[in-house]
Amino acid sequence: MYEFAVNVDSILVILLLIVWGAAGLLAGGLSTRRRTRLLLALIGVGTVVTVARGIGTGLLWSNGWVFVADRVLVALPLLAVPMVAMFALAVPALRRIAGRRQATNGTAKTAETAKTETAGAPPTPFPVSVRVSVRTTAVAALLGAFMEYLSRPLPPYGADMAIYTGILLVAAAASRGRNPRPRRAGTRRAVAVTALVATAITGAGVYEMRTSLLPDRMSMMGHGDVDYGGGPGGSHHGSRASGAPAVKAVNAADLTGPRTGTPDRAFTLTARETSIRLGSGAVLDAWTYNGQAPGPALTVREGDLVQVTLVNRLPREGVTIHWHGLDVPNAEDGVAGVTQDAVQPGESHVYRFRADQVGTFWYHTHQRPLVGVRRGLFGSLVVLPPEGTTGEDITVMAHNWERPDGLVAAFGTSDTLDRRPVRPGTPVRLRVVNTDRNAWSDVESRNLVLLGARFRVAAIDGVDLDGPSELDGVRLSVAEGGRYDLTFVMPDRPVLLADLANPRAGLLLSPGSDGPVTAPSIPSDAPVFDPATYGTPAPVPFTRFDRDFTVIIDDRIGFHDGTLHFLPTVNGRSFPHTPVHMVRQGEVVRMTFVNRSHQVHPMHLHGHHALVLSRNGRPTTGSPWWIDTLAVQPGETYEIGFRADNPGVWMDHCHDLGHAADGMVTHLAYEGISTPYEIGHGTPNQPE
């Protein structure tokens, strides 16, 4: 519904501009019969489109006030005022003119006499009421579209209203001039106006383009505006805050894991160029950790001190390792330009952290991840409880590979059916990691199905759910970067895990190892599993919030780092102009995501797990649902809450890696903590 409404709405904005713009141009000319009729027709069409937009606004409003606040409070009233004047004054005047000409025409029986009449009595300009009201309407439509473009959906709008009203008054005054202009002067004026508008648009475009450029070097602390979320203000450079206690300055590079002690588990991951073979036989040039993609499955036990040595043997590309979902100390987080410098070819880097969350996680490079992760620099990381695991414990990574014949969804490297025997009666834990977006859809995350067994969603994003009930015949919509653990007891028939984007691929668990098996067939319209209502509820651990942040997601045509894109935006801006969310250690934070855009955005906060509090204004009713990556679909609003208990400078970005590369990046910063690393073309670091 929302997608439909928002798509229609985008078309209506453009139509509105075209129709009212044409009417405005026409109103400046002479009132010949043809022009008068055309103008009346345009006013009719413009009114219909405007009313349609009003209805569309009503539909979007049902998703929440924040979806329409800017147009209800600014764009539509600005349009309504001149339109009322138009109906009160201009339309009757135009009718009179049309009627008069009609009457004259009625007596003029032949084309010959009509021509004489036209030639003999030169038509006059339209009356001032027509010129002023129609042209002001056109300018109001333009301002409305501009406001839309800015995606500035947060009131108050006092300043916007004042500026736009001023522009409208100037436009109204400028449209008053009454003297009929000779044709040539008219043409000259039209050329001048067109040139002026073209110059203004080009100027604005060049300005946007230039301000979108990433500086040669910049600190991640220095971008955008600092948002204090209604909490105490201060400086994150460690200087004294107004009225606030001084916070001791801390260097994020010092926030490491245990630097001493013998590791319980030590791994070496070497990034290199490797060709890999998919199940279908396709051979791809990949970037891998240890020559395999996905990289080695790292399995450790809770409490283990883990040490990973990253060695870079790629010919040119820098690399890092980010432990997605594991809330490690800041300096171990593996983000180029934020928590370390990208490891250059020939160099190495050591990560050390204690694995104190049990669950399913994954690791991937955070240097140009759009390229690196897509090409294979990722793997799974599973933290088992101290007592280990029983039955079959299988991790699968859903990934899209760029085959010569196009993008294909796969599990690991198998883009065809991958068969695996499991004895009936065996308890199975299937850990599904989603590394990438839905290859088919912009509005939904990856859609998976598990067929042939009743199963439970035992954990999401590495956190167990309380009281998960048995499911059957549902689609699992897993956020890009998110994980679902599915548990079931192996039945005496085959069980299939499949991605709806590629029905040919799948993991087939079969009760016997020999003989042909038929895979269960995939239903196309299974309902989507809803974590918000699944499992047994528990009291929310947060009672009040020290900070409240609102993240409005939208999209528009715009520049990022000098190139024109269809751009996802955060509060109307693209990185480096996006907000920094500032907190203090120990605070409880609420963050509200509102997706006004046309696409799904999986929002990923590093270093913290957050509890989903509500969706679309309704509190969650199921098991506590903790996430590190939350897919916010178009039209949706989510509130999440978390405790700021892991000091550092943390990425908070969209895990659609293409969106992140286009500037859908913000940060969570702790007061008093700064990072010594820098990003930009003059540094080795490109975190997105």
Query: Site residues (CB under 5 A) for Cu ion?
Result: 568, 601, 654, 656, 659
**Cα atoms in the Cβ-side hemisphere of radius 13 Å centred on 627:** 26
- Minimum Å gap between C-beta 651 and ligand C2O is 5
- The contact mask relative to ligand C2O for 79-118 (x = CB under 6 A, - = no) is ----------------------------------------
Nearer to ligand C2O, 547 or 655 (CB): 655
Tell me the window of 90-98, 453-461, 585-593, 649-657 that interacts with ligand C2O (CB under 6 A).
649-657
In the bound state with Cu ion, the residue whose beta carbon lies nearer, of 340 and 435, is 435
437 belongs to the binding site for ligand C2O (CB under 6 A): no
The entry of ligand C2O, Cu ion, none near residue 322 (CB within 5 to 8 angstroms by kind) is ligand C2O
Q: Residue 322 interacts with ligand C2O (CB under 6 A)?
A: yes
Residues 6+ apart with CB under 8 A from 51: none
Over the window 272 to 311, marking each residue x when it contacts ligand C2O by CB under 6 A and - when it does not, the resulting string is: ----------------------------------------
Shortest approach of ligand C2O to residue 148 CB, angstroms? 30
> Minimum distance from CB of 71 to Cu ion (Å)?
23
At its nearest, how many Å lie between ligand C2O and the CB of residue 602?
9
Residue placing its CB nearer to ligand C2O in the complex, 545 or 549: 549
- Residue 372 binds ligand C2O, judged by CB under 6 A: no
Judge contact between 34 and 102, C-beta under 8 A: no
Q: What is the spatial order of strands in the sheet that 427-434 belongs to?
A: 406-411, 392-403, 427-434, 483-489, 456-460, 463-464
399 forms part of the interface with ligand C2O (CB under 6 A): no
**651 contact, one of ligand C2O, Cu ion, none, CB 5-8 Å limit per kind:** ligand C2O
Please tell me whether residue 604 binds ligand C2O under the rule CB under 6 A: yes
Q: If binding is defined by CB under 6 A, does position 655 make contact with ligand C2O?
A: yes
Q: Which does 601 bind (CB under 5 to 8 A by kind): ligand C2O, Cu ion, none?
A: Cu ion
Residue among 637, 548, 655 nearest 596 (CA) = 637
* Shortest distance (Å) from residue 377 CB to ligand C2O: 11
Q: How far is the CB of 563 from ligand C2O (least distance, A)?
A: 22
Can residue 608 be called a binding residue for ligand C2O (CB under 6 A)? no
The CA-based diameter of the chain, rounded to the nearest angstrom, is: 106
Residue 653 interacts with ligand C2O (CB under 6 A)?
yes
Alpha-carbon gap, residue 452 to 447, rounded angstroms: 17
3-state SS assignment for residue 148: helix
Q: Which of 131, 135, 364, 667 binds ligand C2O (CB under 6 A)?
A: 364
334 sits near ligand C2O (criterion: CB under 6 A): no
Q: Find out whether 416 and 512 touch, Cβ atoms under 8 Å.
A: no
Q: Which is nearer to Cu ion, 587 or 662 (CB)?
A: 662
Let me know how many helices (H) and strands (E) the chain has, helices first: 11, 36
For residue 81, the surrounding DSSP H or E stretch is helix 76-85
Pick the closest to residue 412 from 280, 270, 602 (CA basis).
280
Cα gap 214→222, rounded to integer Å: 12
Per-residue burial over 240-261, b if 16 or more Cβ lie within 10 Å, else e, is ebeeeeebeebebeebbbeeee
CB of 601 to Cu ion, least distance (A): 3
Tell me the C-alpha distance between 411 and 396, whole Å: 6
The interface partner of residue 659, options being Cu ion, ligand C2O, none and the CB cut-off 5 to 8 Å by kind, is Cu ion
How many whole angstroms separate alpha carbon 245 and alpha carbon 215? Answer: 33
Question: Which CB sits closer to Cu ion, 160 or 436?
Answer: 436
Q: How far is CA 60 from CA 126, 146, 637, in A?
A: 38, 19, 12
Q: Does 651 bind ligand C2O (CB under 6 A)?
A: yes
Q: Which CB, 133 or 367, lies closer to ligand C2O?
A: 367
Rounded alpha-carbon distances, angstroms, from residue 199 to 139, 194, 204, 205:
17, 8, 8, 10
Nearer to Cu ion, 355 or 651 (CB): 651
656 touches, from ligand C2O, Cu ion, none (C-beta below 5 to 8 Å by class)? Cu ion
Residues in contact with ligand C2O, counted by CB under 6 A, come to a total of 10
Residue 604 binds which of Cu ion, ligand C2O, none (CB < 5-8 A, kind-dependent) = ligand C2O
CA-nearest of 56, 100, 98, 94 to 75 is: 56
Partner in contact with 654, chosen from ligand C2O, Cu ion, none, beta carbon below 5 to 8 Å by kind = Cu ion
C-alpha 682/C-alpha 315 separation (Å) is 20
Structure-token pair, residue 113: 């006499």
3-state class (DSSP) for residue 349:
strand
Tokens linked to 297: 């499955």
CA atoms within 13 A on the CB side of 158: 1
| Per-residue contact string for residues 480-509; x = within reach of ligand C2O by CB under 6 A | -x----------------------------
CB of 603: closest distance to ligand C2O in angstroms?
A: 10
Between 148 and 652, name the residue whose CB sits nearer to ligand C2O.
Answer: 652
**Inter-helix orientation angle 2-27/128-150, to 10°:** 150
> Which of residues 53, 324, 437, 659 is near ligand C2O by CB under 6 A?
324
* Shortest distance, position 430 Cβ to ligand C2O, whole Å: 21
Nearest-approach distance from CB 604 to ligand C2O, in angstroms = 5
Smallest gap from Cβ 365 to ligand C2O, in A, equals 10
SS3 226: strand
Return the SS3 of 244: coil
| Cβ-based nearer residue to Cu ion, 236 or 446 | 446
Single-letter code of the amino acid located at 337: G
In angstroms, give the least distance from the CB of 433 to ligand C2O: 10
Residue number of the CB closest to ligand C2O reads 324
E-assigned strand segments in 546-636: 547-560, 563-570, 580-583, 588-595, 601-605, 610-615, 618-619, 626-627, 629-632
As beta bridge partners, residue 419 has 508
In the bound state with ligand C2O, the residue whose beta carbon lies nearer, of 364 and 375, is 364
Q: What letter does residue 455 receive in the DSSP assignment?
A: B
- Cα 92 to chain center, whole Å? 48
Stretch that binds ligand C2O, among 225-233, 521-529, 630-638, 647-655 (CB under 6 A): 647-655
Q: How far apart are CA 155 and CA 66, in angstroms?
A: 9
Segment contacting ligand C2O by CB under 6 A, of 35-43, 51-59, 211-219, 651-659: 651-659
Q: Within 452-481, which residues bind ligand C2O (CB under 6 A)?
A: 481
Nearer to ligand C2O, 366 or 643 (CB): 366
Residues at the interface with ligand C2O (CB under 6 A):
322, 324, 364, 366, 481, 604, 606, 651, 653, 655
